[in-house]
Amino acid sequence: MGRIGKGAVCNVSGCGKEAVRSLATEKAAGAGLQVESSRRAYLCREHYKEYKKRSRKERLLERWRMMK
């Protein structure tokens, strides 16, 4: 059982909702989210959706790079 299963909260400043996903702090900060400094960024459903929207182009370019 990981930290999310144990009831981790969202690391975005000003949010205290239950986290549903985790990712590297650098990726979350690169997408413009104000995360508290730690190794992993735990995100609630709304902030994960915002992360996906903001990082769509970067993820697409990364997929294209991996295809070559």
For the entire predicted model, the pTM comes to: 0.86
Question: Which of 23, 24, 27, 32 shows the shortest CA–CA distance to 13?
Answer: 32
CB 11 within 8 A of CB 33: no
Using only the alpha carbons of the chain, give its radius of gyration: 13
Find the domain containing 37 and state its range.
1-68
Backbone angles phi, psi at 60, to 5 degrees: -65, -45
What pLDDT is attached to residue 49? Answer: 97
What pLDDT is attached to residue 23? Answer: 94
Residue ranges of the chain with per-residue pLDDT less than 50: none
CB 24 within 8 A of CB 38: no
Q: What is the CB-side half-sphere exposure of residue 12 using CA atoms within 13 A?
A: 24
